[in-house]
Structure 1
Amino acid sequence: MIGLDRLAVFLTMVTLLIAVPGPSVLFVVSRGIALGPRAAVATAVGNEAGLFVQVVLVAFGLGSIVERSLLVFSIIKFAGAIY
Protein backbone atom coordinates (compact mmCIF):
# COMPACT_ATOMS: atom_id res chain seq x y z
CA MET A 1 0.00 0.00 0.00
CA ILE A 2 1.15 3.53 -0.75
CA GLY A 3 2.29 5.61 2.21
CA LEU A 4 0.51 8.80 3.21
CA ASP A 5 3.60 10.91 2.47
CA ARG A 6 3.78 9.63 -1.10
CA LEU A 7 0.05 9.99 -1.54
CA ALA A 8 0.24 13.62 -0.46
CA VAL A 9 3.05 14.34 -2.93
CA PHE A 10 1.14 12.54 -5.69
CA LEU A 11 -2.07 14.47 -5.04
CA THR A 12 -0.15 17.75 -4.96
CA MET A 13 1.50 17.05 -8.30
CA VAL A 14 -1.74 15.90 -9.90
CA THR A 15 -3.49 19.06 -8.72
CA LEU A 16 -0.73 21.25 -10.15
CA LEU A 17 -0.74 19.41 -13.48
CA ILE A 18 -4.50 19.75 -13.78
CA ALA A 19 -4.53 23.40 -12.73
CA VAL A 20 -1.85 24.59 -15.18
CA PRO A 21 -3.35 25.06 -18.64
CA GLY A 22 -1.57 23.56 -21.62
CA PRO A 23 -0.78 25.28 -24.91
CA SER A 24 -4.07 24.23 -26.51
CA VAL A 25 -6.10 25.75 -23.69
CA LEU A 26 -4.08 28.95 -23.81
CA PHE A 27 -4.54 29.13 -27.59
CA VAL A 28 -8.31 28.67 -27.34
CA VAL A 29 -8.59 31.27 -24.59
CA SER A 30 -6.48 33.79 -26.49
CA ARG A 31 -8.58 33.29 -29.63
CA GLY A 32 -11.72 33.69 -27.57
CA ILE A 33 -10.49 36.94 -26.07
CA ALA A 34 -9.27 38.33 -29.38
CA LEU A 35 -12.02 37.12 -31.72
CA GLY A 36 -14.96 36.09 -29.56
CA PRO A 37 -16.66 32.89 -28.47
CA ARG A 38 -17.40 31.60 -31.97
CA ALA A 39 -13.68 31.63 -32.84
CA ALA A 40 -12.85 29.96 -29.52
CA VAL A 41 -15.29 27.12 -30.22
CA ALA A 42 -13.97 26.71 -33.76
CA THR A 43 -10.41 26.60 -32.41
CA ALA A 44 -11.34 23.99 -29.80
CA VAL A 45 -13.08 21.86 -32.44
CA GLY A 46 -10.00 22.14 -34.67
CA ASN A 47 -7.72 21.09 -31.82
CA GLU A 48 -9.88 18.07 -31.09
CA ALA A 49 -10.07 17.13 -34.78
CA GLY A 50 -6.28 17.09 -34.92
CA LEU A 51 -6.13 15.00 -31.77
CA PHE A 52 -8.70 12.60 -33.21
CA VAL A 53 -6.57 12.07 -36.35
CA GLN A 54 -3.54 11.39 -34.17
CA VAL A 55 -5.42 8.89 -32.00
CA VAL A 56 -6.77 7.04 -35.04
CA LEU A 57 -3.31 6.81 -36.61
CA VAL A 58 -1.82 5.48 -33.40
CA ALA A 59 -4.70 3.01 -33.02
CA PHE A 60 -3.93 1.65 -36.48
CA GLY A 61 -0.29 1.09 -35.58
CA LEU A 62 1.56 4.23 -36.65
CA GLY A 63 3.11 4.55 -33.20
CA SER A 64 4.84 1.18 -33.40
CA ILE A 65 5.99 1.87 -36.97
CA VAL A 66 7.48 5.21 -35.94
CA GLU A 67 9.10 3.58 -32.92
CA ARG A 68 10.86 0.99 -35.07
CA SER A 69 11.79 3.08 -38.12
CA LEU A 70 14.19 5.99 -37.89
CA LEU A 71 13.32 6.94 -41.48
CA VAL A 72 9.58 7.23 -40.77
CA PHE A 73 10.29 9.15 -37.57
CA SER A 74 12.56 11.56 -39.43
CA ILE A 75 10.00 12.10 -42.20
CA ILE A 76 7.26 12.92 -39.68
CA LYS A 77 9.61 15.13 -37.68
CA PHE A 78 10.72 17.13 -40.71
CA ALA A 79 7.19 17.35 -42.10
CA GLY A 80 6.10 18.84 -38.80
CA ALA A 81 9.00 21.29 -38.83
CA ILE A 82 8.18 22.36 -42.38
CA TYR A 83 4.53 22.77 -41.49
Structure 2
Amino acid sequence: MREPGAKAATSVTLRINGRALTVPAGTSVAAALALAGDLVSRSDLAGRPRGPLCGMGVCFECRATVDGVPEVLTCLTPCREDLEVVTDA
Protein backbone atom coordinates (compact mmCIF):
# COMPACT_ATOMS: atom_id res chain seq x y z
CA MET A 1 0.00 0.00 0.00
CA ARG A 2 1.24 3.46 -0.84
CA GLU A 3 1.75 6.21 1.67
CA PRO A 4 -1.00 8.83 1.61
CA GLY A 5 -0.03 11.57 -0.80
CA ALA A 6 2.64 9.44 -2.50
CA LYS A 7 2.59 9.62 -6.29
CA ALA A 8 2.35 6.48 -8.39
CA ALA A 9 5.22 5.69 -10.71
CA THR A 10 4.67 7.11 -14.17
CA SER A 11 7.01 4.66 -15.84
CA VAL A 12 8.68 1.33 -15.11
CA THR A 13 11.79 -0.32 -16.50
CA LEU A 14 11.80 -4.01 -17.34
CA ARG A 15 14.15 -6.30 -19.24
CA ILE A 16 13.11 -8.12 -22.39
CA ASN A 17 15.59 -10.75 -23.53
CA GLY A 18 18.30 -8.90 -21.63
CA ARG A 19 17.48 -5.44 -23.02
CA ALA A 20 16.18 -2.69 -20.74
CA LEU A 21 12.95 -1.00 -21.78
CA THR A 22 11.10 1.80 -20.01
CA VAL A 23 7.34 1.91 -20.55
CA PRO A 24 4.45 3.84 -19.02
CA ALA A 25 3.11 2.36 -15.79
CA GLY A 26 0.13 0.11 -16.48
CA THR A 27 1.45 -1.19 -19.81
CA SER A 28 0.93 -4.90 -20.42
CA VAL A 29 3.97 -7.06 -21.12
CA ALA A 30 2.53 -7.84 -24.59
CA ALA A 31 2.37 -4.10 -25.34
CA ALA A 32 5.92 -3.67 -24.03
CA LEU A 33 7.06 -6.43 -26.39
CA ALA A 34 5.43 -4.57 -29.28
CA LEU A 35 7.04 -1.28 -28.20
CA ALA A 36 10.39 -3.06 -28.18
CA GLY A 37 9.79 -4.28 -31.72
CA ASP A 38 9.41 -7.89 -30.56
CA LEU A 39 5.97 -8.76 -31.89
CA VAL A 40 6.79 -12.46 -31.65
CA SER A 41 6.79 -13.97 -28.16
CA ARG A 42 7.22 -17.65 -28.99
CA SER A 43 7.35 -20.28 -31.72
CA ASP A 44 4.87 -23.11 -32.23
CA LEU A 45 5.93 -26.76 -32.47
CA ALA A 46 6.71 -26.36 -36.17
CA GLY A 47 8.92 -23.32 -35.44
CA ARG A 48 6.46 -20.75 -36.81
CA PRO A 49 6.45 -17.38 -34.99
CA ARG A 50 3.52 -16.63 -32.69
CA GLY A 51 2.46 -13.46 -30.91
CA PRO A 52 -0.52 -11.78 -29.29
CA LEU A 53 -3.76 -12.26 -31.18
CA CYS A 54 -6.76 -11.60 -28.94
CA GLY A 55 -5.20 -9.36 -26.27
CA MET A 56 -7.54 -10.70 -23.57
CA GLY A 57 -6.08 -14.06 -22.52
CA VAL A 58 -8.26 -16.34 -24.66
CA CYS A 59 -5.93 -17.38 -27.48
CA PHE A 60 -2.78 -18.21 -25.43
CA GLU A 61 -0.55 -17.01 -28.30
CA CYS A 62 1.29 -14.37 -26.25
CA ARG A 63 2.97 -16.73 -23.80
CA ALA A 64 6.50 -15.98 -22.58
CA THR A 65 8.66 -16.62 -19.53
CA VAL A 66 8.17 -13.85 -16.96
CA ASP A 67 10.41 -13.73 -13.89
CA GLY A 68 11.34 -17.39 -14.48
CA VAL A 69 7.73 -18.59 -14.76
CA PRO A 70 7.10 -20.17 -18.18
CA GLU A 71 3.90 -19.88 -20.22
CA VAL A 72 2.74 -16.55 -18.71
CA LEU A 73 0.07 -14.74 -20.72
CA THR A 74 1.80 -11.46 -21.47
CA CYS A 75 -1.41 -9.69 -22.52
CA LEU A 76 -2.77 -10.07 -18.98
CA THR A 77 0.47 -9.30 -17.15
CA PRO A 78 1.16 -5.68 -16.21
CA CYS A 79 4.74 -4.43 -16.37
CA ARG A 80 6.42 -3.62 -13.11
CA GLU A 81 9.86 -2.41 -12.14
CA ASP A 82 12.68 -4.94 -12.73
CA LEU A 83 10.41 -7.49 -14.44
CA GLU A 84 12.41 -10.01 -16.51
CA VAL A 85 10.79 -11.26 -19.73
CA VAL A 86 12.28 -13.98 -21.92
CA THR A 87 10.74 -14.94 -25.23
CA ASP A 88 11.67 -18.04 -27.18
CA ALA A 89 11.60 -16.24 -30.50
TM-score normalised by the shorter chain: which range applies? under 0.3
TM-score w.r.t. length of structure 1: 0.26
Rg (Cα) greater in structure: 1
More RCO (CA 8 Å, sep 6+): 2
TM-score (norm 2): 0.25
